[in-house]
Amino acid sequence: MPVQPNTPGNHAARRVQNYHYAILNLAALAEESAAAGKPVTSLNIGDPTLYGFHPPPSLTEACITALREGCNSYTSSCGIAPAREAISREASERRIATSAEEIIITSGATEAADLLCTAILNPGDEVLCPSPGYPLYTALIARQEAVSVPYHLDPGNDWLPDPEEIERLITPGTKLIIVINPNNPTGALYPPELLASIAETARRNNLVCLADEVYRKLLYSGSHHPFASFAENDLPVFTLESLSKNFMVPGWRTGWMTMTNSRLIPDIRRALRKLADARVCAPAAPQFAIPEALSLGNDYLLPVMEKLRVRRDLTVRMINGIEGLSCSTPEGAFYVMAKLDLSRYPFASDEEFIVELLRKKQILFVHGSGFGMQPREGYFRIVYLPDPLTLEMVYHDLYDFLLHCRHH
């Protein structure tokens, strides 16, 4: 690559040109609208604390106690031992083979994903990514100048992937596969046979696996099967978890990665340790709340899931009741991918629809192409966290908007 002169407008690194995070792309437009006296109902970001969901009180207490007791120092770069021990114990109970030495506590699952992509990927390496999928991953992969290879989540099959397609997409350059379960943006929960089959494909092709399970406790039905529980003793899996969603403290920036079969990948483990050391540590005080979080069981989630279920059911019913719109019923998290039949409307793309809706009705969703869908497919993601009354008003406004936009 020739050296580029430092001329005005030529200072930023090229690798950031392909770095996109669509969830916040339209936030500036929403702010403009609010500044002009038209506040926006933002259904674009998955932060439960904005909509009246609170963490279990004992978790807050544990964090406050840590602060009162003067836990203000840097911690070990991998995180405090009692938290790593609690994580390892709880993971073992869910048939994830790991140890306290194979855990790194991070600034949210986001930093864990970042450290992993940096530790594993060289320019040109291929990574199998779910499509649609959480845009952090395609952004991180672009930043390493590696290549995202999308595998499809099928809207006709409850947004599940096809292991045979995954197998067909593997080349000698494929290094990593990312599995997000429950998925963002679709809310799909993967059955155990499917996970076993993806694990088998990864095993046959010597892939490293990244299992993003940050929504694993937010389920309406069924149960969560950790991907790493299918790793046996010959598949390296990194499981990503977080306090953000399962415990409703996204601003604490506290997550972790759990390694399974790390003896197979000692070089990646060493690289991770170096990277972790250089960024010093995750926030200290919330780490002291991790053992409390993991000792809570699921009772604290019963009222949360009850509220979310009402919001989900209302969303699915009202969206499917509007002509031109459809969606399936998600089994986890708090997202739904809805589809607008673009052939009936004058929008050139999903994003144009979303921008017009924001301008006319001050409602903000995220366009499906921000998660890897084609712009003409007409998908968009709804965050259904707000209270039922707000959601009803949003869907009435959406109905009204679409009624006035239709081709005549």
Rounded-to-integer distance, Cα 168 and Cα 163, Å: 9
110/174 with CB nearer ligand PLP: 110
Work out how close the CB of 314 gets to ligand PLP at its nearest, in angstroms, rounded to a whole number.
22
Out of 127, 208, 214, 290, point to the residue binding ligand PLP (CB under 6 A). Answer: 214
Q: Where are the beta strands (DSSP E) in 103-191?
A: 103-106, 126-131, 147-154, 160-161, 174-180
Work out how close the CB of 35 gets to ligand PLP at its nearest, in angstroms, rounded to a whole number.
26
Site string for ligand PLP, 88-117 (x = CB under 6 A): --------------------xxx-------
Chain Cα centroid distance, residue 173? 25
Query: Within 122-141, which residues bind ligand PLP (CB under 6 A)?
Result: 134
77/246 with CB nearer ligand PLP: 246
77/110 with CB nearer ligand PLP: 110
Query: Within 231-290, which residues bind ligand PLP (CB under 6 A)?
Result: 242, 244, 250, 255
46/236 with CB nearer ligand PLP: 46
Work out how close the CB of 76 gets to ligand PLP at its nearest, in angstroms, rounded to a whole number.
20
Residues 6 or more apart from 363 whose CB is under 8 A from it?
A: 40, 41, 43, 357, 394, 397, 398
Supply 272's token pair. 């991770």
> How big is the CA angle at 110 (ends 75 and 30), to the nearest 5 degrees?
125
Work out how close the CB of 72 gets to ligand PLP at its nearest, in angstroms, rounded to a whole number.
22
Query: CB nearest ligand PLP: which residue?
Result: 108
Torsion of CA 5, 7, 12, 15, to 10 degrees: -40
What is the helix (H) or strand (E) element at residue 198, kind and residue range? Answer: helix 192-204
Say which DSSP state 122 is in. Answer: P
Work out how close the CB of 341 gets to ligand PLP at its nearest, in angstroms, rounded to a whole number.
27
104/325 with CB nearer ligand PLP: 104
170/366 with CB nearer ligand PLP: 366
Work out how close the CB of 162 gets to ligand PLP at its nearest, in angstroms, rounded to a whole number.
20
Supply 135's token pair. 């845009």
Site string for ligand PLP, 164-203 (x = CB under 6 A): ----------------x---x-------------------
Rounded-to-integer distance, Cα 320 and Cα 324, Å: 8
What is the helix (H) or strand (E) element at residue 382, kind and residue range? Answer: strand 379-383
130/402 with CB nearer ligand PLP: 130
Quickly count: other Cβ atoms within 10 Å of residue 390's Cβ: 15
The answer to whether 46 contacts ligand PLP (rule: CB under 6 A) is yes
Work out how close the CB of 14 gets to ligand PLP at its nearest, in angstroms, rounded to a whole number.
26
The answer to whether 370 contacts ligand PLP (rule: CB under 6 A) is no
The answer to whether 144 contacts ligand PLP (rule: CB under 6 A) is no
Number of residues that bind ligand PLP (CB under 6 A): 13
Residues 6 or more apart from 296 whose CB is under 8 A from it?
A: 56, 58, 59
119/180 with CB nearer ligand PLP: 180
214/325 with CB nearer ligand PLP: 214
What is the helix (H) or strand (E) element at residue 336, kind and residue range? Answer: strand 335-340
26/318 with CB nearer ligand PLP: 26
Instruction: Indicate if the alpha-carbon torsion angle 180, 185, 187, 191 is positive or negative.
Output: negative
Q: Residue 93 carries which side chain, given as an amino acid letter?
A: E
Out of 126, 212, 350, 351, point to the residue binding ligand PLP (CB under 6 A). Answer: 212
Work out how close the CB of 23 gets to ligand PLP at its nearest, in angstroms, rounded to a whole number.
8
Work out how close the CB of 9 gets to ligand PLP at its nearest, in angstroms, rounded to a whole number.
32
From residue 184, alpha-carbon distances to 95, 188, 212, 296 in Å are 24, 8, 10, 25
Say which DSSP state 174 is in. Answer: E
27/264 with CB nearer ligand PLP: 27
From residue 173, alpha-carbon distances to 111, 117, 122, 408 in Å are 25, 15, 10, 50
On whether the CB atoms of residues 272 and 265 are closer than 8 A, the answer is no
Rounded-to-integer distance, Cα 136 and Cα 114, Å: 9
Site for ligand PLP, rule CB under 6 A: 46, 108-110, 134, 180, 184, 212, 214, 242, 244, 250, 255
